[in-house]
A = this chain, B = another copy of it.
Amino acid sequence: MVATSVPERPTSRAPIRERHGVVTAVGLDADDTLWHNEDHFHHVEEEFAALITLHTDDVDASTALAALAETERTNVTIYGYGVKSFTISMIETAIALTGGRIPSAELSALINHGKDMLRRPTDLLPHVPGIVEQLALRYRLVLITKGDPLHQNAKVAGSGLAHHFEQIEVVDEKDPATYLRVIARHGIDPQGFVMVGNSLKSDVLPVLEIGGIGIHVPYQFTWALEQAEMAQHHTDTGRFHVLEHLGQLPALLSTLE
């Protein structure tokens, strides 16, 4: 399933043509791949846990965070991903964990944390602007992110990178069916498709499943709902790679051609 021979490499700025089995299209995740995101959630989760432990003696910080993750897991099915969903999940969990003893005025702090997250400027990760510009010369680039479309589009706009991408795709869920639909719409062959992102669950596993190449670039924090393990049959495909940072991506991609 892997491209092993390279008839020719497209030259910089030349039109990028589809050739079977040759990597021509690169999908990039956005949150925690191109810019910081999970660290903002992590910070607010710590504030949340501190607030809970202040208003009940029965719950410690790690129990509070586990309960929040459980509420989020349930709420994602009805609210989807993003900060508004997270905000309501915090309020709901705070009321439940304190048996309603937390004063409602304290919940305003949680709402304000959410608003601060939505207002934060896009904070690019190291290497990102130069690497994205460099990749755009050689590959068809598609940004594929899940989450609240309004917020995701605002972050894309704030990144200054939008013009490098052939398409910005904000999807509800990153599963194999979604990836197949997105790349089919752009006439991209799964075997010529590489997805790069920080989440094994969302960026790597579903892309391996459709026959593409998955490149994992871990971020310092991983959200509970994105935790995943790689099985032997995944790593054995030869289509799975791990990088320390995005700056290493062009060199890896050139070995895949």
Question: A: which residues have CB within 8 A of B?
Answer: 78-80, 84-85, 87-88, 91-92, 94-95, 98-108, 111, 114-115, 118-119, 148-150, 153, 170, 172
A85 touching B84, Cβ below 8 Å: yes
A111 contacts across to B, CB distance below 8 A: 88, 91-92
A78 touching B118, Cβ below 8 Å: yes
- Of the candidates B78, B101, B105, the one whose C-beta lies within 8 Å of that of A95 is B105
| A16 CB to nearest B CB, Å | 23
* A108-B95, A118-B78 known; A100+B103 contact, CB < 8 A: yes
CA distance A80 to B80 in the complex (A): 14
A107 touching B104, Cβ below 8 Å: yes
CA distance A101 to B104 in the complex (A): 7
Task: Please name 27 pairs of A and B residues whose Cβ atoms are closer than 8 Å in the assembled complex, sorted by A.
Answer: A78-B115, A78-B118, A78-B119, A79-B84, A79-B118, A80-B148, A84-B84, A84-B85, A84-B88, A88-B111, A88-B114, A91-B91, A92-B108, A95-B104, A95-B108, A98-B104, A100-B103, A100-B105, A100-B108, A101-B104, A102-B104, A103-B104, A104-B106, A104-B107, A107-B107, A150-B172, A153-B172
| A209 CB to nearest B CB, Å | 24
| A97 CB to nearest B CB, Å | 11
B84 touching A107, Cβ below 8 Å: no
